[in-house]
Structure 1
Amino acid sequence: MKDLDSAGLDCLAALADERSFERAAQRLSITQSAISQRLRSLEAQVGQLLVVRSRPLRLTEPGKVLLRFARQLQALRTDVARELGAQVAPNERIAIAINADSLATWVLPALDPVVQAGLREGYGLELVVDDQDFTHDWLRQGEVLGCVSTVSQALRGCLVRPLGVMRYVAVASPEFLQRQLPEGLNEANFASTPFLVFNRKDDSQVQWVAKAFQVQSPRLQERYVPSSEAYVRAVCMGWGVGVAPELQVRPLLQSGALVALRPELSVDVTLYWHQWKLVSDLAPAPARVALLDQIGQALARGARAALK
C-alpha cells in the first residue's frame, strides 16, 4: 500500500470529528457528494470499509488505523507550513485529550503560550475532555495526537513522560458538616452521607472512603455533578462531601468556605503525557520544535509548577 490520497485522509478525519457527512462537508467547504466520493476512493485504495454509515457514523477498526495516520499527517503538514513561513491550511488543528480536573486547574495557563502562537500562525488546538483513566483510549483510537492520562505505559509509536501528582482531598462546607455530620464523618455514617461524584467513571470518592475506613468497595450515596467547576460550587453550597483536587480547593480551604475532612489523607493520582512520535523528512534543518513537542513541553512546565 502506498500513496494514500491525502484528500481522502482529510475527509476521514473530518468525518471522525463531525460524525456526519453534512457537517464534514461544511468543515472542508466541499459538497457531501465530494466527501462520499473521496471516502469511497480511499476505501477502494485500502480494500476495506472505513466508515459505518450510521447515525451518528462511526469508524471501523481499519478506519481508526488510518485515522491515526491522517492525524499525524495533518500535524506534520502544519509543522512544515510553519517552518516554511507558509499559511497553515484552514481548519487545521491539533487535538489532545485532557482530564477535566487538570483542565479546570493548571492546563489552561500551561497551554496559553501555544494557543497564543496558534492565533498568530493560523493553527488551532482542540481539547477533548474525559476522565484521566480514559483519555488514553482517545489516543489509541487515533482521535487525538496526545493525552494527559494515568496510564504509565506508552503505546507502540508513542512517547510518554511523567507530569506529576494531583492530590485529591475530601471537603465539605461548614454548614453541611454542622447539619449532616455534627460528629464528623466516620465508619457509622459514611454510607448514609451524600457524596458528590463527577460522573460514573469517577471513583475517587470510593478510593478515599476505602482508605479512610479500611473497607473494600464501599457503597456510597452518590450525587452526580459532571463539571469540575460546578462540582466544587455544589460542595460549597452544601450538596454533599466532595473529593476534589487540593490545587482547586486550596483557596476555599484557606478562606474557610470549605473544610478538609481527614486532611492528612488524600488520593494521589499520577499523571503522564503521551504523544505520537512524529518524524518528518520534509522539515528543513535545523527545524523548530514540532508543534506536538511544544505542547508536551508546555504541559510539562505547567505541571512542574502546579503539581507535586
Structure 2
Amino acid sequence: MKNIDYKLLHAFNMVIKYESFDKAAEFLYLTQSAVSQRIKQLEQLVSQPVLIRSTPLRATEIGKKLLNHYYQVQQLEADLLPHIYPEDLISPLTISLATNADSLATWLIPALAKLIQTHNIELNLEVTNETNTIYKLKNGEVFGAISTQATALPGCVVDKLGNMNYVLVASPDFRDKHFKKGVNKDALLKAPGLLFDSKDMMHIEFIKKEFGLLQGSYPCHIIHSSEAFVNFAKQGLAYCLIAELQIKDELKEGKLINLLPKKQINQTLYWHRWSLVKGVFKKFSDNIIEQGSNILS
C-alpha cells in the first residue's frame, strides 16, 4: 500500500494557492524545477494527473480530493501542536470559509469576532453567490460554507441556520419616477434594476416568475457588493432585492420603500462543514450555528 507524501501535497497546495510554479517555489525556498518534480512525483504516486496546466492552474478531481484531505490534516495538526509544544510560537492558523455577501454584510462578522480577537488566526473569507459557496467546500478550498443547499456533501455535515428574507425596494423618488402606476411589466422594461453578478438568479427568477420577463430583456446594473446595493438604492439609481435584515432602519425611516409588500423571497441558509472538525474550527462552526439561528428567522 502506498503512503501519501505530505511534502508533495504541501508543494501541490502552494502551486494551487499561488496559481504559479514560480511563486510556489519562492514560498518553499526551492527551484521551480524542484517544485515541478514534486508535482510529477505526486502524480506518479496516484497514477493520474493532479493538475490541469491551464491559466490559471487548476486541480483535477483527484487533485481536489487530495487538497481536501491535506486541509483536514492541517486542521488536526493545528489543534494538536499547541498541546505538544505549548511554549513555542505557533504560526497563525488559516481558517477559510465560504459565505454569501448578504450574510457577511449582516450577521456573520459578529459570529466570528470574539474568536478572531482571542486566537492566533488568519481568516480567509471566500465571498460568492449562496448557490455557489458549496463548490468551494466540495473543492477543498474551505472547511465550511454558508449555502442554500440542504443536502450534505460526502464527508460533511449540515445544519439549518434559518431564513433570510428579501424584499424588492427602491427610494421614494425612484418609485415616483418609474413606478407611478405600480411595478408592472412595462415599467420594468425601462426601470434599471440591480444584480450582484450575472449569476444572481434570485433577482432573475423573481422577475421572470412575477412578470414574465427574461434575463437581458430589461436593464440591470451589476455591483459585486451588498453594501453598495443599499447605497445604490438609497441614491435613487435602481430598484433591487435586498435582505430585509440589512435595511431595517432604511425601511423604518422611509429612505427605502418596499415596492411589493405582499411578495418576498425567503431563502433558507445552511451551514456545511467537514465531518471531522475540532479545536478552533469547531468553535467557529458552533458560533456560526448559534449566531445564525438567533438572527435569522
What's the TM-score once normalised by structure 2's chain length? 0.90
Structure 1 residue matching 2:41: 3-state secondary structure = helix
Greater displacement, 250-259 / 22-31: 22-31
- Whether the aligned pair in 1 keeps the contact of 2:14 and 2:24 (CA below 8 Å) is yes
- Whether the aligned pair in 2 keeps the contact of 1:64 and 1:142 (CA below 8 Å) is yes
Structure 2 residue matching 1:4: 3-state secondary structure = coil
- Whether the aligned pair in 2 keeps the contact of 1:133 and 1:150 (CA below 8 Å) is yes
- Whether the aligned pair in 1 keeps the contact of 2:131 and 2:149 (CA below 8 Å) is yes
Cα separation, 2, equivalents of 1:272 and 1:20: 34
The correspondence for 1:130, drawn from 107, 114, 128, is 128
Instruction: Provide closer, same or farther for how the CA distance between residues 32 and 21 of structure 1 changes in structure 2, counting only shifts above 3 A.
Output: same
- C-alpha RMSD of the superposition: 2.2
Cα separation, 2, equivalents of 1:208 and 1:49: 42
Residue 301 (structure 1) aligned with residue 263 (structure 2): no
Deviation at 1:178, TM superposition (A): 1.8
AA aligned opposite 1:51: L
- Whether the aligned pair in 2 keeps the contact of 1:68 and 1:141 (CA below 8 Å) is yes
- Whether the aligned pair in 2 keeps the contact of 1:195 and 1:240 (CA below 8 Å) is yes
Instruction: Provide closer, same or farther for how the CA distance between residues 204 and 54 of structure 1 changes in structure 2, counting only shifts above 3 A.
Output: closer
Residue 81 of structure 2 aligns with which residue?
A: 81
Residue 117 of structure 1 aligns with which residue?
A: 118
Cα separation, 1, equivalents of 2:59 and 2:206: 38
Could you list the runs of 5+ residues in structure 2 that have no partner in the other structure? none
Cα separation, 1, equivalents of 2:164 and 2:116: 24
Cα separation, 2, equivalents of 1:26 and 1:93: 20
Cα separation, 2, equivalents of 1:168 and 1:139: 25
Cα offsets for 1:48-100 (capped at 9, x unmatched): 22113333211122211111111111111111124443657646412111111
The correspondence for 1:235, drawn from 208, 212, 233, is 233
AA aligned opposite 2:157: L
**Identity %, equivalent residues:** 36
Residues 150-299 of structure 1: pairs in structure 2 closer than 5 A: 150-210=148-208, 212-213=210-211, 215=212, 219-278=217-276, 289-299=278-288
Greater displacement, 140-149 / 19-28: 19-28
- Whether the aligned pair in 1 keeps the contact of 2:2 and 2:45 (CA below 8 Å) is no
Cα separation, 1, equivalents of 2:26 and 2:254: 51
Deviation at 1:189, TM superposition (A): 2.1
Cα separation, 1, equivalents of 2:66 and 2:108: 29
Deviation at 1:268, TM superposition (A): 0.7
- Whether the aligned pair in 2 keeps the contact of 1:161 and 1:274 (CA below 8 Å) is yes
AA aligned opposite 1:278: L
Could you list the runs of 5+ residues in structure 1 that have no partner in the other structure? 280-288
What's the TM-score once normalised by structure 1's chain length? 0.87
Instruction: Provide closer, same or farther for how the CA distance between residues 236 and 87 of structure 1 changes in structure 2, counting only shifts above 3 A.
Output: farther
Greater displacement, 167-176 / 109-118: 109-118
Cα separation, 2, equivalents of 1:295 and 1:194: 40
Residue 107 (structure 1) aligned with residue 96 (structure 2): no
Deviation at 1:301, TM superposition (A): 1.5
- Whether the aligned pair in 1 keeps the contact of 2:95 and 2:124 (CA below 8 Å) is yes
Instruction: Provide closer, same or farther for how the CA distance between residues 2 and 116 of structure 1 changes in structure 2, counting only shifts above 3 A.
Output: farther
AA aligned opposite 1:61: E
Cα separation, 2, equivalents of 1:131 and 1:217: 20
Instruction: Provide closer, same or farther for how the CA distance between residues 244 and 83 of structure 1 changes in structure 2, counting only shifts above 3 A.
Output: farther
Structure 2 residue matching 1:152: 3-state secondary structure = coil
Cα separation, 2, equivalents of 1:192 and 1:13: 48
- Whether the aligned pair in 2 keeps the contact of 1:166 and 1:271 (CA below 8 Å) is yes
- Whether the aligned pair in 2 keeps the contact of 1:148 and 1:273 (CA below 8 Å) is yes
